[in-house]
Amino acid sequence: MTVSTESGVPIYNETHRQRFNFAAHVCADYVKKRPELKQTADYSHFCCVAFTLLDDQQAALDIILPTIEHIHARVGHTESPQVSAPDAPEYADALNAHTHWWLEILRRAAAERREHFTITCEFGPSPYMPTVPFTQQAINNQWKLNVWMKDYIKRQCASFSA
């Protein structure tokens, strides 16, 4: 926090596997001790770590919510931090869960009358993007996924005023 305060540059810790805030319940414990903590929400990692869509962890997400300052808009599921196609019917539950979380975050920001809130569409290359065995060719187009996600988020957020 000192570096951010002294430099005037905001620092947001990404909720991510292999980081201190790798799981919702662990992250919530950190927030209880350090409520000034600022974070980037990439809940896809929470799903992967918990092997669930976090339906049993709403209390932890509620604690974390006030610390979120940025969203990484990638859809994860119970087995991976990234689905291969967020618009595929087999990932509808995962997309709906992530959409719900993102809208909660944005509603909080709107209630605080924030002028801006940043979101990064973050579908990534291998190893996040599944590949065809032996060829290592991506099974989907990373650029198209991120553009699809941008358009999807714009549609979901149409009710928010600028």
**DSSP letter at 81?**
S
Q: How far, rounded to the nearest angstrom, does the alpha carbon of residue 155 sit from its chain's CA centroid? A: 18
Q: What pLDDT, on a 0 to 100 scale, did the predictor assign at position 161?
A: 54
Mind listing the pLDDT tens digit for each residue in 100-158? 999 999 999 999 998 889 999 999 998 888 889 898 899 999 999 999 999 999 999 88
Q: What pLDDT, on a 0 to 100 scale, did the predictor assign at position 162?
A: 45
Q: Residue 51: left if φ>0, alpha if ψ -120 to 50, beta else—which one?
A: left
Interatomic CA distance for residues 28 and 32, integer angstroms = 6
* Dihedral angle sign, alpha carbons of residues 10, 110, 78, 142: negative
| Amino acid code (one letter) for 148 | W
Q: What pLDDT, on a 0 to 100 scale, did the predictor assign at position 5?
A: 80
Nearest 10 degrees: CA dihedral of 159, 95, 138, 51? 140
- Tokens 């009710």, located at residue: 159
- Tokens 């959409």, located at residue: 99
Mind listing the pLDDT tens digit for each residue in 7-36? 888 889 899 888 888 999 999 999 999 999
**Strands ordered across the beta sheet of 13-14:** 13-14, 39-41, 68-73, 118-121
Mind listing the pLDDT tens digit for each residue in 43-94? 999 999 999 999 999 999 999 999 999 999 999 999 999 999 999 999 999 9
Contacts of 49 (CB under 8 A, 6+ apart): 17, 22, 23
Interatomic CA distance for residues 150 and 119, integer angstroms = 9
pTM over 0.85: yes
Interatomic CA distance for residues 5 and 11, integer angstroms = 9
Q: For residue 1, name the pLDDT band (cuts at 50, 70, 90).
A: low
Mean pLDDT along residues 37-44: 95
Q: What pLDDT, on a 0 to 100 scale, did the predictor assign at position 160?
A: 67
